[in-house]
A and B are shown apart, each in its own frame.
Chain A
Amino acid sequence: MPKQSQAVGRAKRMAADVRDLGLCYFEANDFDQAIALWQPLSSDAQMRNALAEAYFRRSLNQADPQRLLDLQAALSFRPNDPRLLYQLGLVYHRQGQLEAAQERYTQVAQLTSARWAGLARLRALLALEMGDLQAALHIEGLSRNDLHFIQMVTEVLAGRTAPHAHEGWIARFWHGLGCLAQGDSAGALQAFSQGKPLRISRYQSYYQGVAAFQEGDLEQAVQAWHDALKRGYDGPWLQHNLAIARMALLERLLDSDQLEKAAELALIGSQISNPSARLAELESNILHVAAQEKARQIDWKSASRYWEAACTIVEAYPRLGSPRPLLHNLALAYEAQEAWYQAAETWRKLLRSRPRSQQVQNESYSAEQWRWIQRRAIDCYKQANAFQNAIQLLRNALKREPNELDLRYELSEILFANQQHQAAANELQRIIQLEPQHTRACLHLASYRLANSQIEQAQELLLQLAASQPRDSETRLTLAWLLNQLGQHYETNYNGYQSLRFFQLAIQFAPDSYHYRFDLARALLRNEANEAARAQINEGLRIGFDQTEAYLLAMLCWHRIAHEHEIRLIIARAEQSLSDLSRFYLLAGSALLEASTPLLRARDLSELPNRRVPIARVWLQLAHDLLEQAVRQRPNDGELHAIIASLFLHIRADLSLYYIQQALKLAPQQAELLILYGLILELIGDKRAGREVLLRVSRLAHRQAEHELAERADYVRYQIEQSCLNEAIRVARTQFEIPSITG
């Protein structure tokens, strides 16, 4: 026995826990959970009460069919609860089950002695709906207000004018309806025009439209009916009436030459459902004509709005004809606004409308024109950076025409632009499989292979192309460039035979380019074929006789085998041929210094002994002579002095100091020069003076609001303090750099 009573106690405690948990859900408005927990305990009177409340509250959140079931469930627990009976009556009433509703309302009246708020009005309404007008007016418990309300509704239903037109919006609404029933549309319009009660605004708007239409005020009628539609009026006659009114109004506007106003009305019309094909015809024509007019006025934005609307109408009414011209115009309008993505999408939509049957095709665009449209779609996607869409479009086109090589080439280009390099290369490969002599694809693929160190494949492609001897000059130049690149690859990898072979081949395809002559000469010199190299150098100088760069490249060829004498001969030839000798001397001196100090870019300056890059005396002397010649040509050019100072920074800081001092004599307050000067003082070991100069520049620049320069001076000083000399030099000489010729 004690065991049994323990079990009962445990069961009671568990039931209480479940009950309380259900209450938690109930209070959190989770009635599903509360009902699920409480339902097994429904034998308990308290729980039945709770369940009735939970079903009741849940029912209020449901649509009518489900609400009905919940209320019935609630009533099974509390059969005489007037709240539940009243709600059930409401559901039946809304569903049109008038007898069932009446029965529930009567029960509520009996249970509450007819004192339930709102009940009398509903019972009266129900009587009206059941056709018993007299009974409606004599329902027990009707308040004065209710009675007044029922009287107004009764009057309107009987086709009479409701009285009390000035007692508020709702009274005016019934009065307006009464006026309409009596044929007094002006009176109705006046009653409806004075504000809208929210709960019946849709009806008021609709009947305001009716009154306005009867009065001949089409504009107001259309506006009111649009408003009724927006507010959810769902009478099927609204769409019909609206179409008639819109049609009449549009015709009236066109008769009075108000095209734009008509187009705006048609634009609104395109957004709502329209039951009339005649109206669709009229609206789409108006929109197209108005769009053309806007396009002529260069108002592309309005034009595109109108064509968009026209397209929408034609899509809904295919019988109006093909939308292609509209789509075509819309795409052009988007392009004019540089709305590339929309333009691309519209061209694509046009493409999708391409008829399948050949006969119908002939009635639209020619095959060439369809290709033009496709090209526009692709170009517009490209302009919009929507590469993926362009790729998809091209792939679809290639499914239809897999052998269309131009399309495939275009696809490869877009794939490259979209960083899909391997896929792009595959497309190029496919083109070459289909057409081995496709030069553009061969060149492009060879270039890709070269850039990716796929030398053998690149070489094979280039040799094939070279063997085919292309005639097109641009192709030949590109081929020469790629062959030369291949030669350079072999030269870097000390394959003298192959480098010579490809440099020579490059010259075959670009005989008038001096660059390739010097590359070949360099390779020949490496192979000790000095005379052959001299011939190439001479030819290069013949071709580029007036080009400073040609003389520099020639000098560098001889510099490679340290032939100072030959270099001096080249300088002499340059002096005879070039007009801007100052520039030549400067670039030649710079190129010699750079070519003679291979360590310059390879190591950190601070790691070198005495912070100097070693250089052979002969080249230093020759370069210095050349730079001095440059100065003699332009002695008052401060910038030239500063450039020369910066050239010697890594090599001879003392020479740098000399040239920067010369520059400062010409422009003593120039901040950039002072920054370089501060750095040079640091390099020659006068650290204190160097830092003082840099500090002075910083302050000066701040005073002159040259904050960027001040920051640069501070940065150089900071890098010096951190022993990061290379970085300090890089920043200090920024303004005085000249392009490298040695690459």
Chain B
Amino acid sequence: MKFRNTERRETIVLQMTPMIDIVFQLLVFFVFTFKIVLPEGDFNIRMPSATASESSQPSETPLLKVRLQANDEGDLVRVQLGDLVLDGDAPFHQLQSQIREMISDDAGPGSTDQEVEIEADYKLKYRYAMNAITAITGYVDSNGDQHKLVERVRFAPLAEK
């Protein structure tokens, strides 16, 4: 009977270190790219107090007025651009199209010095105001590129509550 020579058998050692390194790299990468909260962004508006602005910059183009009406709960009831009432499922989308037509942004960004004044009801929820500002200041095309429309946005002076 022949015995196998057990001493000659080679032990295979797996190199675990590079694998663990790469696994940690991947882990760190995914931990950081995972967005729990979306990043925050700003709308920059320059709004000097009324007396100062009138003296410094007389505007040549007529002021566009956007009126946002709310009910008692603060929900949006009506959007109005000048005298035009925008009703429908997506009033802010309509507002955006109207402003795009008016501005005709083919000339490129910053081609207009149009100013828009937002007149909102006191109780209106802020997210509708944000929607209006979004609709007025620009749009995102199908390629995901941002285009600017009107950069000068301001709030109308506050009426009584």
Pair from one complex:
no
Interface residues of B (CB under 8 A from A): none
Interface residues of A (CB under 8 A from B): none
